[in-house]
Amino acid sequence: MTDPILVEIVEGTLASVEMEVETAIARTARSPMIRDAHDFRAGIHDVRLRKLTGRSYSALVQPVVRDYPIETMKPGDVYFHNDVYLSEGGIGHLPDLCVTVPVFHDGEVVAFVQAFGHHDDIGGSVPGSMPSHARSVFEEGLMVPPIKLWDQGVPNETALRIMTRNSRMPDSLAGDLDAECSACLMGARRLAELFERYGRQDVEECFDAIIDKTTETFRRELLAKIPEGTYVWEDYAEHDGVDEPRLHAQRITLTVDHAEHAPLTIDFTGTSPQAKGPINHAGDYADGVFLKKWLAPVLRNLADTPERMAELDVNEGVVPLIKMVFPEKGTLLTPVFPAPTNARTFVILRLLGVLAGVLAKATGGRMPADQETIRYTGVYGTDAEGQPYLMREVLGGGSGGRWYADGEDTIHVVPDSRNIPVEFAEARWPFRVERLGLACDSGGPGMFRGGLGYDKHIRMLRDASYMSIADRSILSCWGVNGGLAGRPFRVEIAGKEMDGLVDDYQVQAGELIRIRTTGGGGWGSPYDRDPRAVAADVRDGKVSIAGALGDYGVVLDGDRIDEQATAELRARLRPRADRFFDRGPGYARLSGGRAHAEVDEL
Mean of the pLDDT values across residues 543-570? 96
> Residue 280: its pLDDT value, please?
97
Say what the alpha-carbon torsion angle 516, 518, 520, 525 is, to the nearest 10 degrees: 70
Q: What digits encode the pLDDT tens for the residues 351-377?
A: 999 999 999 999 999 999 999 888 999
Kindly list the distances between the CA atom of residue 140 and the CA atoms of 124, 126, 128, 331, in Å, as whole numbers in the listed order. 4, 8, 9, 20
Residue 163 corresponds to which amino acid? M
Helix (H) or strand (E) holding 351: helix 345-363
Contacts by residues 312-315 (CB-CB < 8 Å, ≥ 24 positions apart): 312/54, 312/214, 312/217, 312/218, 312/221, 312/222, 313/53, 313/54, 313/55, 313/214, 314/54, 314/57, 314/214, 315/50, 315/51, 315/52, 315/53, 315/54, 315/210, 315/211, 315/214
Name the pLDDT band for 576 (thresholds 50, 70, 90): low
- In this prediction, residues 440-451 reach a mean pLDDT of 98
SS3 72: helix
Distance CA 392, CA 33 (A): 7
pLDDT band at 414 (very low <50, low <70, confident <90, very high): confident
Strands laid side by side in the 96-105 sheet: 40-46, 108-118, 96-105, 78-81, 147-151, 154-155
pLDDT at 557: 92
Its pTM surpasses 0.85: yes
Mean pLDDT of 81-100: 96
Is residue 211 within 8 Å of 51, Cβ to Cβ?
Answer: no
Residues 6+ apart with CB under 8 A from 27: 35
pLDDT of residue 577: 59
Write down the pLDDT at residue 373.
82
What single-letter DSSP state applies at residue 486? -
pLDDT for 122-164, tens place per residue? 999 999 999 999 999 999 999 999 999 999 999 999 999 999 9
Cβ–Cβ under 8 Å, residues 375 and 124:
no
> Above 90 in pLDDT, residue 399?
yes
Judging by DSSP bridges, how do beta strands 264-267 and 322-325 pair with one another?
A: parallel
CB 468 within 8 A of CB 500: yes
Q: Residue 557 — φ and ψ, nearest 5°?
A: -115, 90
Cα–Cα distance between 337 and 285 in angstroms, integer? 13
pLDDT 10s digits, 477-531: 999 999 999 999 999 999 999 999 999 999 999 999 999 999 999 999 999 999 9
Lowest mean pLDDT among 204-208, 335-339, 391-395, 461-465: 391-395
CA–CA gap between residue 293 and residue 307 (Å, rounded): 21
Looking at residue 80, its pLDDT comes to 98
The secondary structure of 535-590, three-state, reads HHHHHCCCCCHHHHHHHHCCCEECCEECHHHHHHHHHHHCCCCCCCEECCHHHHHH
221 exposed, middle or buried (CB, 10 Å; 0-12, 13-18, 19+)? middle
| 315-353 pLDDT per residue, tens | 999 999 999 999 999 999 999 999 999 999 999 999 999
Give the CA count within 13 Å in the CB-facing half-sphere of 342.
35
8 Å CB contact between 473 and 490: yes
pLDDT band at 203 (very low <50, low <70, confident <90, very high): very high
